[in-house]
Amino acid sequence: MRIVDLRSDTVTLPTPAMREAIATAELGDDVFGEDPTVNRLEAMAAERLGKEAALLVMSGTMANLVSVLTHCGRGDEIIVGDKAHIFLDEAGGCSALGGVHSHQVPNQPDGTLALADIEAAVREDDIHFPRSRLICLENTHNMCGGVCLTPDYMRQVRQLADQYGLMIHLDGARIFNAAVALGVDVKELVRDADSVSFCLSKGLAAPIGSLICGSQDFIRAARRVRKIVGGGTRQAGIIAAAGIVALEQMVDRLAEDHTNARLLADGLANMPGITLDPARVQTNLVFFEVAGTPWTAAEFCERLAALGVLMLALGRYTVRAVTHYGIERSDVEHALHTISQLLRG
Ligand SMILES: *Cc1c(COP(=O)(O)O)cnc(C)c1O
């Protein structure tokens, strides 16, 4: 049976060029700072994002955890969206491991936090309160549908942060999707953040790894926190080698994923029982509702999987489909055809 796996861009497998780069990578002990391939990737990432330095970690979750723990101490508070990956999907690591309190602010449908909500969440200096320290943003915003935050919005949050002496961390797991979709240099999207994390292992198709970028001082401190969480690894050039190929070869092609997501969204929007807001489909994520079908999202996905098309149920009636490297236009057409068959019974 033909399988079309649209559950996540994390299912991407390394490209032939990545496997070749892994096989031939020059290696050393990265805890000693001696892995030349890791050093090259970190320098490349910092340059690409317009930051002074970068640090390789094993996952996006580790990147966010290390970043928050570098900015914040015990009893400090982060201001974070109620649909943020950091809040919903990282097992509460900031509080579990860092004693960091979180103050949730509603995510708007466009992935932003309203400036007034951020401002209202900032604590006064009072011994009853945790200390506000950090604003966490996410671009693209996963649970808001892969929508993009703009440089203009980032600048407004920066002004607010400066007014209250707060730092900004940007969870940019899919920051290159945002840059490609908006047609801006990624530097523009991260300029106003003190730290930014991004994933090599999603649409960029590397097998493992994320990077944290920031100032020299921040990255030096983050390197110690990475050691604390057990993230100091040795011949990590094995991982970095694929990451270099990801940055060199896999960014521009994200546009294909966006075109395929658009095709999928337009097809789904015309199907009975399915509702979807095409304006929210800006990158490679397609969220839709199946409340008008006889099934819950889980039942819908189970029936679809039996026909070889895999998607994720992310709410009682909400389904997410993700386009990525390895998914061609014909796969999307096949998925649409399969769904219309399922709906016809
Ligand atoms: C996937 C994701 C992460 C975490 O990445 P992992 O490598 O799966 O730990 C963080 N933030 C966002 C927005 C993500 O989509």
The answer on 314 and 213 residing in a single domain is no
Query: Which atom of ligand 1 is nearest to 62's Cα?
Result: 9
The answer on 150 and 272 residing in a single domain is no
Instruction: Determine which of 58-67, 273-282, 319-328 has the lowest per-residue pLDDT on average.
Output: 273-282
| DSSP state at residue 252 | T
Out of 248, 275, 310, a domain closes at 248
What integer pLDDT is reported at residue 279 of this predicted model? 86
In a domain, 192, yes or no: yes
The answer on 154 and 193 residing in a single domain is yes
| Cα–Cα distance, 283 to 110 (Å, whole number) | 13
Nearest CA to ligand 1 atom 8: 60
Condensed to tens digits (0 to 9), the pLDDT of residues 106-121 reads 999 999 999 999 999 9
Domain containing 112 equals 12-248
The answer on 314 and 222 residing in a single domain is no
Condensed to tens digits (0 to 9), the pLDDT of residues 13-67 reads 999 999 999 999 999 999 999 999 999 999 999 999 999 999 999 999 999 999 9
The answer on 294 and 219 residing in a single domain is no
* Exposure of 276 in the CB half-sphere (CA atoms within 13 A): 26
| C-alpha separations of 64 from 71, 220, 332 in Å | 11, 16, 32
| Verdict on whether the full-model pTM lies above 0.85 | yes
How many domains, the chain? 2
Nearest CA to ligand 1 atom 14: 173
The answer on 267 and 180 residing in a single domain is no
Its sign, for the CA torsion 289, 311, 242, 27, is positive
Query: Which atom of ligand 1 is nearest to 64's Cα?
Result: 10
> For position 338, which CATH number holds?
3.90.1150.10
> For position 208, which CATH number holds?
3.40.640.10
Q: Is 199 in the pocket of ligand 1 (CB under 6 A)?
A: yes
Q: Is 85 in the pocket of ligand 1 (CB under 6 A)?
A: yes
| Cα–Cα distance, 107 to 144 (Å, whole number) | 8
Out of 225, 248, 271, a domain closes at 248
Q: Is 146 in the pocket of ligand 1 (CB under 6 A)?
A: no
The answer on 237 and 332 residing in a single domain is no
Q: In what order do the strands lie in the sheet with 167-171?
A: 53-57, 210-214, 195-199, 167-171, 131-138, 76-81, 101-105
Q: Is 60 in the pocket of ligand 1 (CB under 6 A)?
A: yes
In a domain, 5, yes or no: no
Mutate to test the pocket of ligand 1, among 141, 199, 312 (most ligand atoms within 8 A of CB): 199
Q: Is 138 in the pocket of ligand 1 (CB under 6 A)?
A: yes
